[in-house]
Amino acid sequence: MHYDENNIFARILRGEIPCQKVYEDDHVLAFNDIAPKAPVHILVIPKGAYISIDDFGAHAPAEEIKAFYAAVAKIAADHDLQGKGFRTIANTGLNGGQEVPHFHVHILGGKALGPMLAS
Ligand code: 5GP
């Protein structure tokens, strides 16, 4: 599958669209979701052009994968989520309900989130 250079997160990475940044390093950017589903709702994205978690896991260098998950852990700690817990979601493809075709992990927390999926 072809990576769409004009997806909304690619445009955020290029600075064409603003975001509420919460974390950045050489490999990772994280920002608040524009339509939060919980008191804390942060999107973590790699700076590299990966469509989905399977694209990222199959093709990203180890350094980028390590930086990504280290960033998730740091963001959770910085937002005081580690004690009470939180949820990470990586929607993938059509059945996964992925809207933006640039790999991202949602970090959700700040309240009890209930069952994993709406029934
Ligand atoms: P997905 O369904 O692809 O896993 O989630 C995409 C997420 O991106 C949604 O939660 C949506 O609210 C968020 N989103 C879409 N456009 C923007 C935007 O321009 N800025 C920010 N900060 N979030 C966005």
Please say whether the structural domain 8-109 has been given the CATH code 3.90.1150.10: no
Read off the pLDDT of residues 22-68 as tens digits, 9 standing for 90 and up. 999 999 999 999 999 999 999 999 999 999 999 999 999 999 999 99
> How many helices (H) and strands (E) in the chain?
4, 5
* Cut 0.85: pTM above it: yes
CB 43 within 8 A of CB 31: yes
Interatomic CA distance for residues 71 and 45, integer angstroms: 10
pLDDT score at 80 = 96
Q: Is 104 labeled as catalytic in the residue annotation?
A: yes
Name the residue of 29, 100, 108 whose CB sits within 8 Å of the most ligand 1 atoms, as the mutation to test its pocket: 100
Please give the span between the terminal C-alpha atoms of the chain, in angstroms, as a whole number.
Answer: 31
Q: pLDDT digit string (tens) for 64-90? A: 999 999 999 999 999 999 999 999 999
Domain assignments of the chain as residue spans, ordered by start: 8-109
